[in-house]
A and B are shown apart, each in its own frame.
Chain A
Amino acid sequence: MSEPILSISGLDVSFVQYARGLRTRTVTGITGLDLEVAEGEILAVLGASGSGKTLLAQAILGILPHNARTGGDIVFRGSRLSPARRERLLGREISYIPQSVTSLDPLMPVGAQVRIGLDPAVAEHERRRLFARYDLPDQVAGLHPHQLSGGMLRRVLFATGVRDTVRLLIADEPTPGLHAEAVAEVLGHLRELAAEGVAVLLITHDINAAVSVARRVAVMNQGHLVTVEAADAFTGDGERLRHPFARDLWRALPQNRFSPGGTE
């Protein structure tokens, strides 16, 4: 196994909330999470809504809500990811592809949004290259997000995140609501980036997408990392899966047993 790009150990995320008056209570988001992503690897993080997988992405990116408290260590390429270091790396070595197309500024032409963070001298040239790579016609660069189709916007999001210098890409639910062909396209883009040596953290609740593209699948439930399974173990009746929760998840799929879980 090659050098880990990202390694997380003992990550805790919790939220301080005002309960009644000035009394506060703490709500746990993630507890004691350990995870490693290697160079050129696609690691899928699988979990239901509320399992903490988006929080994991936000914790790595440092964009948690203000009332969040974190503990544990996040190490990127050998050294701790401090806020100052993160500030330098975001958009250069660490890149994020968000879940929703509302992450694009509604009032800024999409071409200009792709240029953000690029060296101004070569930004326009790079923008053209990225548009060509993601099959976006050059003339849409001057259009605003509301004038583009959903599929195009998703490709614009890719173009905003992909940089030559990127070593870690975090993709948060890039596939829901897309038809099969578009899903295949998105997963193809992720595979391509991994082949270039980028470590990809794919956050999803789509088991099929996760299994088809990733080498390893991390399963999360209620803020805990339950197990990390090999992607090719998600096959047949799931007898090669090590953890019962992963087996239940796999067997609950309609095309498998469609079982409500807890059968063992």
Chain B
Amino acid sequence: MALGELTVLRLLRLATLLAGVSALAFTLVHASPIDPIQAYVGADVGLTDEQYTRLREHWGLDRSPVEQYLAWAGSILQGDLGVSTLYKVPVSDVIATRFGASLALMGVAWLSSGVLGYALGVVAATRRGRFVDRVVSWYSYTLSATPTFWLGIVFLVVFSVWLGWFPVGLAGPYGVPSDEVGFTARVHHFVLPALTLSAVGVANIAMHTREKMTDVLNSDYVAFARARGESPGQILRNHGFRNSAAPAVTLQFAYFSELFGGSVLAETVFSYPGLGSTLTEAALGGDVPLLLGIVLISAVFVFAGNTIADVVNAALDPRVRSRT
């Protein structure tokens, strides 16, 4: 298939995905007990019935759900995500600032889980059944079975409360305006959430790499390489990395969805002002425009990860290339 055709197909897929996600998210919010008007004016402000009705009319909440959805989708197509009822600023502004903080967090977790996870997986596979392998496997199974939020709480208890090495939460010291927080203070606040997210990621990547590398080392072509007199080091260089890199990198990009899910939990536990914790806030505060906006952005984010995974996989494996 030509590259142009493939691009059109992918964009088409993205469009249908967004249409589906937005319709589903809208339906869920519509069915939820969130009252947009009450959420907007605040719980402690009483409205007369007349005021309430006029606000409903003003916002179009008296129209049918389909009409409401189409009006919302129409303005999104024009680039308008609406105004956040919690922050009273455009949703796109909130997302832009929060996404930056989350990207740093997810980026560090993503890189460290990729590099460290792959390395540990390779070491475990080449020493399969021995002590190092047992340690790596034990770590990976334990961490894979650990909920991210619980791990975050454990880290908080150990490193913040008992040892006092790191602050309990937030992205900077309490009471200091964010533009006055220095770099060291930022890093200091960044370590624990990043560590939480990375620890889980390393476990997943290490387990997958271990399995893949074990398959490679048990393959016919590695047996043949041994029969040709290639040393264990040469076998890794000539065949091991080559054959395990494509699945590892693919997994790494496809991992975006879990990364985002994990960041929601990690950021919430550490009150870290990223996109994840904002999502939780928006949901709890009944901020419908912000909630739906973040849902859409995260769908694009995950879709981008999967698309990159496809492209990279095809680039690394000629067998995949010939199939597409």
Residues of A within 8 A of B (CB): 61-63, 87-92, 95-96, 98, 100, 102-108, 116-117, 144, 146-147, 160-161
Kindly identify which residue among B220, B242, B319 contacts A108, using a CB–CB cutoff of 8 Å: B242
Q: How far is the CA of A93 from the CA of B228 in the complex (A)?
A: 10
Residues from chain B with Cβ under 8 Å of A87 in the complex: 229, 231
Decide: A61 near B242, CB < 8 A? Known: A106-B319, A146-B318: no
Decide: A105 near B238, CB < 8 A? Known: A91-B229, A91-B230: yes
Q: Given contact pairs A105-B242, A108-B242, A146-B319, enumerate 12 new A-B contacts (beta carbons under 8 Å).
A: A63-B226, A89-B229, A91-B230, A98-B227, A102-B221, A105-B243, A107-B242, A117-B229, A144-B319, A147-B318, A147-B322, A161-B228
Asked whether B221 lies within 8 Å of A104 as measured between CB atoms, the reply is yes
Q: How far is the CA of A100 from the CA of B223 in the complex (A)?
A: 11
Asked whether A106 lies within 8 Å of B221 as measured between CB atoms, the reply is yes
Closest to A112 in B: B238
User: Whole-angstrom distance from the CB of A57 to the nearest CB of chain B?
Assistant: 9
Query: What total of chain B residues lie within 8 Å of the partner, measured CB to CB?
Result: 21
User: Whole-angstrom distance from the CB of A181 to the nearest CB of chain B?
Assistant: 26
Kindly identify which residue among B227, B231, B246, B318 contacts A63, using a CB–CB cutoff of 8 Å: B227
Residue B317 interfacial (CB < 8 Å): yes
Asked whether B229 lies within 8 Å of A144 as measured between CB atoms, the reply is no
Asked whether B229 lies within 8 Å of A90 as measured between CB atoms, the reply is yes
Residue B224 interfacial (CB < 8 Å): yes
Closest to A96 in B: B227
Can you list 19 A-B contacts with CB-CB less than 8 angstroms, sorted by A residue number? A61-B226, A62-B226, A63-B223, A90-B226, A91-B230, A95-B228, A102-B219, A102-B220, A103-B224, A105-B238, A106-B243, A106-B319, A107-B242, A108-B242, A116-B225, A117-B230, A144-B319, A160-B228, A161-B228
Q: How far is the CA of A147 from the CA of B322 in the complex (A)?
A: 9
Asked whether A108 lies within 8 Å of B224 as measured between CB atoms, the reply is no
Closest to A161 in B: B228
Q: How far is the CA of A161 from the CA of B224 in the complex (A)?
A: 10
User: Whole-angstrom distance from the CB of B224 to the nearest CB of chain A?
Assistant: 4
User: Whole-angstrom distance from the CB of A168 to the nearest CB of chain B?
Assistant: 12
Closest to B238 in A: A116
Residues from chain B with Cβ under 8 Å of A103 in the complex: 220-221, 223-224
Residue B188 interfacial (CB < 8 Å): no
Taken residue by residue from 283 to 324, chain B's Cβ proximity to chain A (1 for < 8 Å, 0 otherwise) reads as 000000000000000000000000000000000011100100
Kindly identify which residue among A107, A117, A147 contacts B228, using a CB–CB cutoff of 8 Å: A117
Q: How far is the CA of A149 from the CA of B319 in the complex (A)?
A: 15
Q: How far is the CA of A89 from the CA of B243 in the complex (A)?
A: 27
Asked whether B226 lies within 8 Å of A107 as measured between CB atoms, the reply is no
Taken residue by residue from 230 to 251, chain B's Cβ proximity to chain A (1 for < 8 Å, 0 otherwise) reads as 1100000011001100100000
Q: Which of A100, A107, A116, A161 has the most CB of B within 10 A?
A: A107
Interface residues of B in 202-227 (CB under 8 A from A): 219-221, 223-227
User: Whole-angstrom distance from the CB of A161 to the nearest CB of chain B?
Assistant: 8
Decide: A107 near B227, CB < 8 A? Known: A144-B319, A146-B318: no
Kindly identify which residue among B221, B227, B231, B319 contacts A61, using a CB–CB cutoff of 8 Å: B227
Residues from chain A with Cβ under 8 Å of B225 in the complex: 105, 116
User: Whole-angstrom distance from the CB of B314 to the nearest CB of chain A?
Assistant: 13
Residues from chain A with Cβ under 8 Å of B223 in the complex: 63, 98, 103
Q: How far is the CA of A88 from the CA of B230 in the complex (A)?
A: 10
Decide: A96 near B319, CB < 8 A? Known: A63-B223, A103-B220, A105-B221: no
Residues from chain A with Cβ under 8 Å of B219 in the complex: 102
Residues from chain B with Cβ under 8 Å of A146 in the complex: 318-319, 322
Q: Which 10 A-B pairs have the closest CB atoms?
A: A90-B229, A91-B229, A103-B224, A96-B227, A91-B228, A102-B220, A105-B221, A103-B220, A61-B227, A144-B318
Q: Which of B227, B230, B246 has the most CB of A within 10 A?
A: B227
Asked whether A96 lies within 8 Å of B228 as measured between CB atoms, the reply is yes
Asked whether A116 lies within 8 Å of B230 as measured between CB atoms, the reply is yes
Kindly identify which residue among B226, B227, B231, B239 contacts A105, using a CB–CB cutoff of 8 Å: B239
Asked whether A107 lies within 8 Å of B229 as measured between CB atoms, the reply is no
Q: Which of B219, B226, B230, B231 has the most CB of A within 10 A?
A: B226
User: Whole-angstrom distance from the CB of B130 to the nearest CB of chain A?
Assistant: 12
Residues from chain B with Cβ under 8 Å of A100 in the complex: 220
Residues from chain B with Cβ under 8 Å of A144 in the complex: 318-319
Q: How far is the CA of A98 from the CA of B242 in the complex (A)?
A: 21
Residues from chain A with Cβ under 8 Å of B220 in the complex: 98, 100, 102-103
Q: How far is the CA of A160 from the CA of B228 in the complex (A)?
A: 9
Residues from chain A with Cβ under 8 Å of B231 in the complex: 87
Closest to A92 in B: B229
Asked whether A107 lies within 8 Å of B243 as measured between CB atoms, the reply is yes
Closest to B243 in A: A107
